[in-house]
Amino acid sequence: MILDSSRLNSRRRRPAPAASVSGLLRHGFLILVCVVTIYPLLWLVRSSLMTDSEIFSSTSLLPSSPTLSNYVAGWSANPPGFGAFLTNSMIVCLGAVVGNLVSCTLAAYAFARLRFPLRAFFFAAMLMTVMIPSQVTLIPQYTVFTALGWVNTYLPLIVPKLLATDAFFIFLLVQFIRGLPIELDEAAELDGCGYFGIFFRIILPLTAPALATTAVFTFIWTYEDFMGPLIYLSDVNSYTVPLGLRMFVNSMGQSAYGQLFAMSALTLVPVFIVFLLLQKRLVEGIATTGIKG
C-alpha cells in the first residue's frame, strides 16, 4: 500500500502535457518579445562600430572589422565637443531632479496630510493640468521667460521644477503618503513635532521608494527632452545632449551616421547607471504606490 500511494503521488506531481506545452509557448513568446525589443539597441551598438559605408550594406549584427573611430571622431566632431553637451545635460537634470523632489514632495504632503480651505478644489485643479498639452502653454511661458531675460539660460528648464509644476509626481507622492499610517503623525505630534518636524522626521524617510521613482523619471524625461532646450537655448556652448545629437545631421539631411550612432550609444550610459543604482527603490515605489490608496 505504501508503494502504491507513493507511485500515485508521483503521478499526480507530474505536470500535464497541456500545461507543459502552454508554459513552453508562453516562454517562447516572451523570449521573442525580448529579442524584438532589444534588437534596435543591438543594431545601434553594432552600427556605432562600423564605417558609414558598411552600416546599411551589412545585415549582420556582428561587425566584420569593429572600430572605435566613430567614438573618437564623434566626441570632438562638433565644438565645443560632446563632453560639454553631456555636462550641460547633467546640470539641467540635476536641477530638475532636485526641484521636483523638493517642491513635489512638499505639495504632496500638503494635499495628503494638511487640512486647509478648498483643498479638494486645488487638488482637482492640479490633476487637470495633466490633461493640458504642453503646446498650449508654450507661447505664454516663452513670453514670460523672455520678459525675465531668462532665454538662452538654463533657468526656464529648471525653475518651473521648483514650483511643483509636474502634477504626475505630486499625485504619485500623494497616493504613497496617504498609504502611510496616520498614527505615525499623531504620535509625532504628541511628542511635540510640528508640521515640518513630522514631514522631515516621519514622512520623508518613509517615502524613499516614491522619491526614487520621481528622481528616475524626472532624470530620464529631462535628459531626453528636445523641445525645451531647442526653444530656450541658442548658444551652442549651452546645448544639451539631444541638441548635440541633432548637430550630426546638416541642413541638407546628410548625416555622419557612424558618429551619430556612436554618440547615441554613449548617451545611454548615464540612463543605465541611474536606473541600475535606483532599480530596487524604483520597483518598490511603483509597486507600493499602485496598491496604496
Region of poorest pLDDT, from 21-35, 183-197, 243-257: 243-257
Closest CA to 293 of 174, 202, 147, 183: 174
Pairwise CA distance, residues 206 & 212, whole Å: 12
Does some domain include residue 7? no
Confidence of residue 60 (pLDDT cuts 50, 70, 90): confident
Are residues 262 and 166 both part of a single domain? yes
Whether 10 shows a pLDDT value over 80: the answer reads no
Region of poorest pLDDT, from 13-27, 191-205, 240-254: 13-27
Boundary residue ending a domain (41, 66, 91) = 66
Whether 21 shows a pLDDT value over 50: the answer reads yes
Percent of residues, the chain, with pLDDT higher than 70: 89
Whether 4 shows a pLDDT value over 80: the answer reads no
* Joined grid coordinates for residue 149: 531675460
| Cell 514650483 sits on residue | 163
Are residues 157 and 33 both part of a single domain? no
Region of poorest pLDDT, from 17-21, 172-176, 234-238: 17-21
Three-class secondary structure of residue 252 per DSSP = coil
Whether 288 shows a pLDDT value over 70: the answer reads no
Are residues 105 and 60 both part of a single domain? no
Rounded average pLDDT over 202-222: 92
pLDDT of residue 144: 95
pLDDT of residue 252: 55
Are residues 273 and 165 both part of a single domain? yes
Are residues 62 and 121 both part of a single domain? no
Across 11-20, 41-50, 51-60, 153-162, which has the greatest mean pLDDT? 153-162
pLDDT of residue 148: 95
Three-class secondary structure of residue 54 per DSSP = helix
Give 85's contacts (C-beta < 8 A, 6+ positions apart).
239, 240, 241, 243, 244
Give 62's contacts (C-beta < 8 A, 6+ positions apart).
46
Does some domain include residue 165? yes
- 206: alpha, beta or left? (left if phi > 0; alpha if psi -120 to 50): alpha
Does some domain include residue 73? no
Are residues 126 and 39 both part of a single domain? no
Are residues 177 and 250 both part of a single domain? yes
Query: What's the predicted TM-score (pTM) here?
Result: 0.84
**8 A C-beta contact, residue 261 and residue 248:** no
Does some domain include residue 8? no
Pairwise CA distance, residues 203 & 105, whole Å: 10
Three-class secondary structure of residue 249 per DSSP = strand
Task: Domain of residue 36: give its range.
Answer: 23-66
Rounded average pLDDT over 213-234: 94
Pairwise CA distance, residues 170 & 167, whole Å: 5
Pairwise CA distance, residues 184 & 53, whole Å: 65
* Joined grid coordinates for residue 116: 486647509
Does some domain include residue 71? no
Number of compact structural domains in the chain: 2
Q: Which amino acid is at 138?
A: L
Q: Which amino acid is at 43?
A: W
